[in-house]
Amino acid sequence: MNFKKEIARRRTFGIISHPDAGKTTLTEKLLLFGGAIQEAGAVKNNKIKKTATSDFMEIERQRGISVATSVLAFIYKDKKINILDTPGHKDFAEDTFRTLTAVDSVIVVIDVAKGVEEQTEKLVEVCRMRKIPMIVFINKMDREGKDAFDLLDEVEQKLGLSVTPLSFPIGMGYDFKGIYNIYEKNINLFSGNSKKNIEETIAFDDLSNPELEKIIGNKAAETLRENLELITGVYPPFNKQEYLDGAQQPVFFGSALNNFGVRELLDCFIEIAPTPRDKMAEERLVKADEKQMTGFVFKIHANMDPKHRDRLAFVKIVSGTFERNKPYLHVRHNKNLKFSSPNAFFAEKKEIVDISFPGDIVGLHDTGHFKIGDTLTEGEVLHYKGIPSFSPEHFRYINNADPMKAKQLYKGIDQLMDEGVAQLFTLELNGRKVIGTVGALQYEVIQYRLEHEYGAKCTYENFPVYKACWVEPKDPKSVEFQEFKRVKQKFLAIDKRGQLVFLADSQFSLQMTQQKYPNVTLHFTSEFS
């Protein structure tokens, strides 16, 4: 099959939502349709020992939440689909933000009872900024929840989206009868016990047909006709180009746990979702169908197999083909590297691939060469931007709890920071190490992984910091900057990339510093130029 056809076959997308909206369950059901798994694991809590296919870290299994992005691939109707399942928990938002740099489109999952929640707002804002095409899936229709029209309004107002329903529920909760698929013009009936089987659909393009009453009952038929008339009057017709430009968002209703409405979502998705998109590098726009390979590292995962200390760098292929055993330029190190066993993914199952195309995610075994944001090319010097570190919100000193294991502790911290789990700051004054995270739960994850993956133990001490700011002086030799360094010595640290960071202890101190040193710019993300 030729190169352009391979690109046209690919769909790479992320699934985002607030915790518990049913994102991991939806991922599983998509895999079920793709024939990638035979039976879905119930993704709830510790009582159910069978866990979701996409949650493969021990701590995820224990807590029933996703803390790292997993990559899953399968073939459906001759399309190669790459799903990036992201953590919903806000403490792991940074991993999700980075993952959004590697997807071509997104499915946003919303819980019918809870509606739009805070975490969803933040993630959708990132997608809107990047004009990523979005499809909205309103989940858990078999439970009591908000009225469908109220939800559509809420999605428009809170998320700033312009929606158009492509399916619509017939009833809800106890009265849930099924879904009318506006896109395909058919009815999908819900029998309530379809956890494993996939329901048959009834083609139904003429809603005035009295057969409708026989299928769903008089009252439901009347309500459905009224609702669909209202939809036609209120919402614009679906426009594929507007969806691809990020200006219109189709909405589907369903129940992922009961496998309901998922096929409609998937069938429409593979038809309308974008093929791998062009990507802007600092130097130029890179088109997906260019012959030369380019790709970037958006995630690093240590110890995917605890028996072997392997780190995997996840690389999104942007253009060209990535071939096994072919040398590629690691731009930051300016040196050529060869990869004898590049991996493709299916959750924790990996297989070696000889060739990968734009849109694909490749896992490269890494002995410490890679950092998040690194670019690989066939010789051209390119830098893909958009993978910043954000200013952490929690700060703690990290102490070694077992002096015999100092080496393991430093190696563990070093590798976990490369993964982007948290950020490490070394105080200039006394060399003490401070870990900054977006959420407090990450400290538990770090402690757990240091002990179970590196055999090292650590304790934490509170360190009162309001914000970490990356320092950029107008003139590093100026008297003002030297004075800033002398006065603020106690609050200065170096991050892992050697950049100077100011750890402000309060909002007041931050404002005063900005006023007193106007030629020293303070940034809240590590990426500035």
Structure tokens at 144: 């009591």
Nearest alpha carbon to residue 109 among 243, 33, 18, 170: 18
pLDDT of residue 56: 45
Classify the C-alpha dihedral 213-219-225-231 as positive or negative. Answer: negative
Which top CATH class is 3-173+236-272? alpha beta
Other Cβ atoms within 10 Å of 235 Cβ, number: 18
Gap between the terminal Cα atoms of the chain: 42
- Please state the pTM of the whole predicted model: 0.73
Per the document, the length of the chain is 529
Residue 350 identity? K
pLDDT of residue 204: 63
Which top CATH class is 279-377? alpha beta
Band of the pLDDT at 302, cuts 50, 70, 90? low
**Residue 15, strand partner residues:** 85, 107
Band of the pLDDT at 64, cuts 50, 70, 90? very low
Which has the higher per-residue pLDDT, 218 or 40? 218
Query: For 406-434, how does the pLDDT look when each residue is reduced to its tens digit (9 = 90+)?
Result: 898 988 888 777 777 788 999 988 889 99
Residue 162 identity? S
Q: Exposed, middle or buried by CB within 10 Å (0-12, 13-18, 19+), for 170?
A: buried
Question: What percentage of the chain exceeds 90 in pLDDT?
Answer: 15
**Residue 250, strand partner residues:** 164
d(CA 436, CA 493): 12
pLDDT of residue 493: 92
pLDDT of residue 160: 87
Which has the higher per-residue pLDDT, 93 or 271? 271
Band of the pLDDT at 90, cuts 50, 70, 90? low
Structure tokens at 229: 């008339």
d(CA 527, CA 259): 42
* The residue to which tokens 């933040």 are assigned: 122
Within 13 Å and on the Cβ side, how many CA atoms surround 30?
A: 29
Structure tokens at 470: 């990356």
Q: Same CATH topology for 279-377 and 394-523?
A: no
Mean pLDDT computed over 452-468: 88
Query: For 226-265, how does the pLDDT look when each residue is reduced to its tens digit (9 = 90+)?
Result: 888 888 888 999 999 999 998 899 999 888 887 788 888 8
pLDDT of residue 350: 67
- Domains of the chain: which residue ranges? 3-173+236-272, 279-377, 394-523
Mean pLDDT computed over 107-113: 88
CATH fold of 394-523: Alpha-Beta Plaits (3.30.70)
Residue pair 260/254 in contact by the 8 Å Cβ criterion: yes
Nearest alpha carbon to residue 54 among 77, 32, 24, 30: 24
Phi and psi for 171 in degrees, rounded to 5? 80, -175
Task: Outline where DSSP puts E strands in 341-466.
Answer: 343-346, 349-352, 355-356, 361-366, 375-377, 394-400, 423-427, 433-437, 458-462
pLDDT of residue 112: 86
Phi and psi for 238 in degrees, rounded to 5? -65, 135
Nearest alpha carbon to residue 77 among 358, 269, 356, 361: 269
Residue 211 identity? E
Q: Which helix (H) or strand (E) holds 314?
A: strand 311-319
Angle between helices 118-129 and 148-159 (to 10 degrees): 60
* The residue to which tokens 């930051």 are assigned: 332
User: In Å, how far are 17, 302, 303, 310, 451 from 307, measured between CA atoms?
Assistant: 33, 12, 8, 9, 14
Residue pair 152/252 in contact by the 8 Å Cβ criterion: no
Classify the C-alpha dihedral 156-159-164-170 as positive or negative. Answer: negative
Q: Exposed, middle or buried by CB within 10 Å (0-12, 13-18, 19+), for 251?
A: buried
Mean pLDDT of all residues belonging to the chain? 80
Within 13 Å and on the Cβ side, how many CA atoms surround 345?
A: 28
Other Cβ atoms within 10 Å of 468 Cβ, number: 26
Residues 149, 152, 157, 158: what is their CA dihedral angle, to the nearest 10 degrees? 120
CA–chain centroid gap for 310, Å, is 22
d(CA 328, CA 14): 27
Question: What percentage of the chain exceeds 70 in pLDDT?
Answer: 82
Nearest alpha carbon to residue 436 among 391, 372, 406, 496: 391
pLDDT at 273 over 80: yes
Give the least confident one: 12-21, 279-288, 402-411, 509-518.
Answer: 12-21
d(CA 419, CA 313): 9
Other Cβ atoms within 10 Å of 401 Cβ, number: 15
Residue pair 125/246 in contact by the 8 Å Cβ criterion: no
Nearest alpha carbon to residue 350 among 300, 304, 298: 304
pLDDT of residue 48: 34
Query: For 24-40, how does the pLDDT look when each residue is reduced to its tens digit (9 = 90+)?
Result: 788 878 877 766 554 44
Residues 173, 155, 392, 85: what is their CA dihedral angle, to the nearest 10 degrees? 60
Angle between helices 441-454 and 406-419 (to 10 degrees): 130
pLDDT at 131 over 50: yes
Band of the pLDDT at 460, cuts 50, 70, 90? very high
Mean pLDDT computed over 160-185: 82
Query: For 174-209, how does the pLDDT look when each residue is reduced to its tens digit (9 = 90+)?
Result: 777 778 888 877 777 766 554 444 455 566 666 667
Q: Decide: helix, strand or coil at residue 113.
A: coil
Band of the pLDDT at 84, cuts 50, 70, 90? confident
Q: What is the DSSP string of 253-266?
A: E-BTTTTBSHHHHH
Residues 6 or more apart in contact with residue 333 via CB below 8 angstroms: 369
